[in-house]
Amino acid sequence: MILVDTSVWIDYFNGLENKQTESLDRILSEQSVLVGDIILTEILQGFDSVKEFRLAKQALDPLDCVHLGGKSLAIKAASNFRFLRSKGVTIRKTVDMLIGSWCIEHEVELLHNDKDFAQIATQLPLQIYTD
């Protein structure tokens, strides 16, 4: 299973070709792709037209949606943030700490195009999808 971050989905829906969107194209037909509830919100709120919103919702609907929150994960994400900060690494977005911490806790690979996750992976066992 692979969790795909908003950063990749945005590029994908905008028709941008890069390593991550090419990977997403492949894994959509080959593997189980997960979308997080927070990620789903971030993706869908970015569409201006009702038509684009509906098409994206329809495309994402078949994917398994996982809950990326809760008290224990919030505490773990805060602990991970504090650990990273003690190592001189500052993560810009709280949501990235939640996503990264969920992936670590569930041992799920993450496909992303966001430097926060690359920084998390330098100090914590975040599995980054590479093909």
Q: Flag whether 128 is in a domain.
A: no
Q: Flag whether 114 is in a domain.
A: yes
Write the pLDDT tens digit of every residue in 22-35: 999 999 988 899 99
Please report, for the domain that includes residue 51, its CATH number.
3.40.50.1010
Average pLDDT, the chain: 97
DSSP sequence for 14-80: TT--SHHHHHHHHHHHHS-EEEEHHHHHHHHTT--SHHHHHHHHHHHTTSEEE---SHHHHHHHHHH
* Type of residue numbered 78: A
Number of domains, the chain: 1
Q: Flag whether 131 is in a domain.
A: no
Please report the pLDDT score of residue 131 as a whole number.
Answer: 81
Q: Flag whether 127 is in a domain.
A: no
- pTM of the predicted model as reported, rounded to 2 decimal places: 0.94
Residue 105 lies in domain: 2-122
Q: Flag whether 129 is in a domain.
A: no
Half-sphere exposure (CA, 13 Å, Cβ side) for 111?
A: 27
